[in-house]
Amino acid sequence: MSHNDTIPLYQSSQSDIDEIENMMNGGGFQSGPGTVLPARPPSPTRPSIPVSSSSSPFVQSNLPPPPPSSSSSASQKVTPVPAPPSLPPSVNFGSSEGSKTTGFGSPPNTLTEPVWDTVKRDLCRIVSNLKLVVFPNPNREDPGKALRDWDLWGPFFFIVFLGLTLSWSASVKKSEVFAVAFALLAAGAVILTLNVLLLGGHIIFFQSLSLLGYCLFPLDVGAVICMLKDNVILKMIVVTVTLAWSSWAAYPFMSAAVNPRRKALALYPVFLMYVSVGFLIIAID
């Protein structure tokens, strides 16, 4: 009798079944505290439905008895408001810190965690995504591993920052510069992703958007440097270096996602977009 695939919902019914089994298995065993029961996975102390991502995407969690600190956690929100959080948080049941579930023995769930924990978690994710994408990293060859927990907040802030920097550097038509930069980058990321999908590549839409946004970080740095020093030669050098860095960051992900014969078709538009942003940075005065 395999207990491994049943979900023990109520402990009382399970122990009844066990007693019946013991009696059936042989009179030599006595049911009692000293018996060695057949091994089965420990049943949770209260009914719970495990997460199965293949069948239904739905998870039920239990709220601990009336949370008195829900209003205090809401007021903690006042400080983290200016912090950049991430769009869809991925849940790591083991790693959510400071969860408010009391000693029920169940895994901490993120439905009842304090607000500050959510913010911290999202901030850490942005930083780790940035490090993963932009800086050299052993896991780079597998696109599935890169940016596993994608988030769109990092890209959002990088795009806005780049637009603001360009707009600040411009002496005329500041609004147009900002709008053009933002629209170019946002629409460009979407179109590049669609391009890869239409070439028959296998990527996830949001993951790719997220990656293209994070790869803007070097160009952001370049734009700031160019804003501070107005020398044309310096600008060209800085832009070339940061452009190469951005392209290097985006290359493995994009190239691994498509058929090798179509690699150039997928990569060329990405390079083109970053080159045009580079020209924008140089040309602004």
Query: Is position 58 an interface residue for other proteins (rule: CB under 8 A)?
Result: yes
Question: Which of 127-135, 152-160, 263-271, 275-283 is the region at the interface with other proteins (rule: CB under 8 A)?
Answer: 152-160
Alpha-carbon distance 181 to 164, whole Å?
9
Q: Is the Cα dihedral 196, 197, 201, 207 positive or negative? A: positive
The correct pick among 1, 17, 232, 244 for binding other proteins (CB under 8 A) is 17
Our finding on whether 53 is near other proteins (CB under 8 A) is yes
Residue 55 binds other proteins (CB under 8 A) = no
| SS3 at position 21 | helix
Are 254 and 270 within 8 A, CB to CB?
Answer: yes
Q: 204: exposed, middle or buried (C-beta count within 10 Å: 0-12, 13-18, 19+)?
A: middle
160 or 227: whose CB is closer to other proteins?
A: 160
**Residues numbered 81-140 forming contacts with other proteins, rule: CB under 8 A:** 81, 85, 87-91, 109-112, 115, 118, 122
- Per CB under 8 A, the segment of 71-79, 189-197, 215-223, 273-281 that binds other proteins is 71-79
Q: How far is the CB of 94 from other proteins (least distance, A)?
A: 14
CA–CA separation, 246 and 240 (whole Å): 10
Query: Minimum distance between the CB of residue 217 and other proteins, rounded to whole angstroms?
Result: 19
Rounded Cα distance between 177 and 168, Å, is 9
Three-state SS for 152?
A: coil
Instruction: Please tell me what DSSP assigns to residue 136.
Output: -
CA dist., res. 100 & res. 204, Å (int):
34
Sole residue written with tokens 């083109």: 272
Q: How far is the CB of 254 from other proteins (least distance, A)?
A: 15
Contacts with other proteins by CB under 8 A: the residue count is 61
Rounded least distance, CB 17 to other proteins, Å: 7
Task: Return the number of the residue (130 or 275) whose C-beta is nearest other proteins.
Answer: 130
Looking at the Cβ atoms of 204 and 265, the one nearer to other proteins is 204
Smallest separation (angstroms) from other proteins to the CB of 173: 11
State in Å, rounded, how far the first CA of the chain is from the last one: 77
Contact status: 194 vs other proteins (CB under 8 A):
no
H/E run at residue 153: helix 153-169
Given 123, 130, 160, 282, the residue binding other proteins (CB under 8 A): 160
Please state the closest distance from residue 278 (CB atom) to other proteins, in A: 21
CB-based contacts of 218, cutoff 8 Å, min separation 6 = 134, 242, 243, 245, 246, 249
Please answer whether residues 83 and 123 qualify as being in contact, where contact means their C-beta atoms are separated by less than 8 angstroms: yes
202 is a site residue for other proteins (CB under 8 A): yes
Where do contacts with other proteins occur on this chain (CB under 8 A)?
9-10, 12-13, 16-17, 20, 49, 51, 53, 56-63, 66, 70-71, 73-75, 77, 81, 85, 87-91, 109-112, 115, 118, 122, 143-144, 148-150, 153, 156, 160, 163-164, 167, 174-175, 178-179, 182-183, 202, 204-207
